Structure 1
Amino acid sequence: MDSAYLWIKAFHIVFIASWFAGLFYLPRIFINLAMDPHPAVQERLILMANKLFRFMTGLAVIAVVLGLILWGGYRVGFGQGWMHAKWVVILLIIGYHHACWTILKKFRAGQNTRSHTWYRFFNEIAVLMMIAAVVLVVVKPF
């Protein structure tokens, strides 16, 4: 194995894990925003959510770029069924990230219409997508 490949792979994993930390935590902030309408609480939590979203977006960009380098430059999973499925999961994860942005904009505008219970279920979607991605990469079921 090429040394550069291993470094890129290691940092890809680090940035994916870091991005997912944000994807796990931001919906928890949404739960708290939906539960407590007090203006001071709303202001503080929205500030936290904004900062977290900006940070995790940077992590996402780096993770995706490193993944593209592994896929295109080192041909990892190129033309294999598990990689095609992983691309679907990646697009779903990016879509979830975008959904978080849309939700955050609604909270900032004071237009949230969903309950904290809805956000508790929304929060679990990231876990399911991470499980799918890890199983596809490690097990390579097809």
Structure 2
Amino acid sequence: MQDTLWLLYPWIKSLHVISVIAWMAGLFYLPRLFVYHVEQANLGPDTLKLFETMEYRLLKAIMNPAMISSWIFGLILVGLPGLIDWSEVWPWTKVAAVVGMTWFHMWLGARRKALAAGTDTMSGRGYRIMNEVPTVLLIVIVVSVIARPF
């Protein structure tokens, strides 16, 4: 089994990177949609319905499958013997950032539900600030994996 996984390593890694790119695109775009949703709420129910549809489809059709596949392919890679030296710091900083990214994804899901229910109280400025969270986490992940300064 291990030999097969090592033969498939370039494909598994490719699928992991593709999944992460799709997930990150959603993590960057959904908070921006929330900014527009909050700031354009006075344009009427048709506009709100359009934002709710876009937010729902982005989360359910793109972000959720991308997050799940990122985790699956990432865990397969982690399971390859000898690929990661867990005595180093970099894999742990990556794990912490990926857990943070997953928390942020779940937080966005909760915000989407609150916006749809009309109970969200966050401002457009608040969403703009939160939109920087995935950028910071992405920097931590990429630097941890590529530069391995720790």
TM-score when scaled to structure 1?
A: 0.95
* CA-CA distance at 1:75 after TM superposition: 4.3
Larger Rg: 2
SS of match in other structure, 1:114: coil
- Asked if the contact 1:16–1:60 (Cα under 8 Å) also holds between the matched residues in 2, the reply is yes
Structure 2 counterpart of 1:11, from 15, 18, 22:
15
After TM superposition, the structure 1 = structure 2 runs for residues 39-78 of structure 1, keeping only pairs within 5 Å, are 39-54=45-60, 55-78=62-85
* CA-CA distance at 1:39 after TM superposition: 1.4
CA deviations 1:79-116 (Å, max 9, x no partner) are: 13100111100110000000000100100100111111
Residue-pair matches, total: 141
User: Given residue 116 of structure 1, which amino acid in structure 2 is its aligned partner?
Assistant: G
CA deviations 1:25-65 (Å, max 9, x no partner) are: 00011001110112111110110100000121011100110
* CA-CA distance at 1:3 after TM superposition: 3.7
SS of match in other structure, 1:98: helix
The 10-residue stretch of structure 1 (5-14 or 77-86) with the greater mean CA deviation from structure 2: 77-86
* CA-CA distance at 1:74 after TM superposition: 4.2
Give, in whole Å, the separation in 1 of the partners of 2:71 and 2:81: 15
SS of match in other structure, 1:73: coil
The 10-residue stretch of structure 1 (82-91 or 69-78) with the greater mean CA deviation from structure 2: 69-78
Two-structure CA RMSD over aligned residues (Å)? 1.1
TM-score when scaled to structure 2?
A: 0.90
Uncovered stretches (5+) of structure 2, i.e. residues with no partner = 1-5
Give, in whole Å, the separation in 1 of the partners of 2:79 and 2:14: 17
SS of match in other structure, 2:83: coil
Matched, 1:112 2:116: no
User: Given residue 73 of structure 2, which amino acid in structure 1 is its aligned partner?
Assistant: L
